[in-house]
Amino acid sequence: MDQQDVNPIDRQWLKKLLQKHHNSLPDEQQQTHSALVAKYPILRDKALVVAPMVEQSDLPFRILCRKYGANICFTPMIHARFFVKKKSYREKMFRFARLKQDQPLIAQICGNNKEVLLEAAKMLEGYVDAIDINCGCPTKTAKRGRYGAFLLESRDYLVDIVRYLVDNLTIPLTVKVRLLSQGLEESLKLYRKLANVGISMLTVHGRTRSQKGEETGKADWHAIKNVVECVGDQISVIANGGISNLDDVRECLEYTGADGVMSSESILEYPALFSDTGTKAVNFKRTGPGRVAMTREYLQLCKEHPPHAGGGGTEFQCIQMHMQVFLHADFRNEQKLSNALFEARDLNGFQDIMNQVESIQSTNNHSVENERLSWYVRHRESSDNDKG
């Protein structure tokens, strides 16, 4: 690509964004982050990111994650065409307000028509810090809609979309990708093109499109390290995949040289992941709040910020999905209680189920420090040896 085709961006954009919002955080959150950085200097100026998750990156969940160390959150994936055409979808998926406790925020959109993508992005750009294009979703729905990871099959088409949005937006554009099935070299060629047309950040999920469900396998941090070496002089690079605890965060940052890490499934199960300092040296004894405490805090936030008014789909469904994940280890042996969760229709019902779980834990002399991730490792044979 000729030099005149390179669209320069501010390489320090992400660092400046983090610093700007850190100064406006509540004292408790500033103290939490400062204590972590003092103990682990590698975290200084690094992005600790909550991933975009369909109908589960809702506002109360984002606020909860931020309390425990996350310093950037993504909205749930927003379908651009629905967002443009359907008022009810807009109201369900996004709260058009800049809430102090929910910044910085990046809106992720999906689609394959650049005009529609731009129209959706324009509706969002006054309320978020950046727009992200989803090029990572590997689902059958994404295949039918030719978006997500399936856009990576049409590389020139994707680059044209990205260039069009970069040229017409007033805020940074970012892209979330997977590794190409054709190999690392082909992946790097594409990422370099995306950097050259002016994206500000690239989030790299260190797996290919086929690595999902029971075929998830290990995330390839070596590939992410190569991405940093390839485009890290131009843009920020976020590592995604293989983050199950704070040790993984630190190891990933040290190994890859990335500007931050993004967590999805593990933080979905344990929102305090970025502040829990249990380490390998003490056999990962949990130092943060237990899963019932996480559930209680989430339900309290749902009273203040109903999830269906900020990206959580239907209110009941969103809460049910979160509780099923938070308390997965408890529900495995309590099928009747798990079934009751999906029959609850108000916060009192959800709180009653949580109280029953807490009572069972008390009867069983449950130890919070011995809690381990359960839902996160459901597709993995070994939670200790697999960097899933």
Question: Is residue 176 marked as binding?
Answer: yes
Crossing angle of the two packed helices 291-304 and 347-363, in degrees rounded to 10: 170
Annotated active-site residue in 65, 73, 137, 302 = 137
> For residues 134 and 108, is the Cβ–Cβ distance under 8 A?
yes
Task: Please provide residue 86's backbone torsions phi and psi, each rounded to the nearest 5 degrees.
Answer: -120, 115
Stated as kind and residue range, the H or E segment containing 56 is: none
Exposed/middle/buried for residue 77 (C-beta within 10 Å: 0-12, 13-18, 19+): buried
Residue 335, both tokens: 């099928």
Q: Is 52 annotated as a binding residue?
A: yes
**Burial grade of 201 (CB within 10 A; 0-12, 13-18, 19 or more):** buried
Please, is 349 exposed, middle or buried when counting C-beta atoms within 10 Å of its C-beta (0-12, 13-18, 19+)? middle
* Helix pair 155-168, 184-196: axis angle to 10 deg: 20
Return d(Cα 255, Cα 265) in angstroms, integer: 21
Using the 8-state DSSP alphabet, how is residue 58 labeled?
-
Report whether 191 contacts 197 (CB < 8 A): no
Q: Is 230 a catalytic residue?
A: no
- Rounded CA separation 374/133 (Å): 30
Q: Is the distance from CB of 113 to CB of 143 less than 8 angstroms?
A: no
| Whole-number Å distance between alpha carbons of 60 and 348 | 17
How is residue 147 written in tokens? Answer: 């978006």
CA-to-CA separations, 342 to 302, 323, 337, 373, in angstroms, rounded: 17, 10, 9, 22
Any binding-site annotation on 278? no
Place of tokens 């890290």: 232
Largest CA distance in the chain: 69
Report the length, in residues, of the chain: 388
53 known member of a binding site: yes
| 172 labelled binding-site residue | no
Two tokens, residue 340: 């009751």
Specify the residue for token string 């919070």. 368
Rounded CA-CA distance 314/162 in Å is: 32
Output the known binding site: 52-54, 108, 176, 205, 240-242
Q: Which residues are catalytic?
A: 137
Specify binding-site residues for FMN: 52-54, 108, 176, 205, 240-242
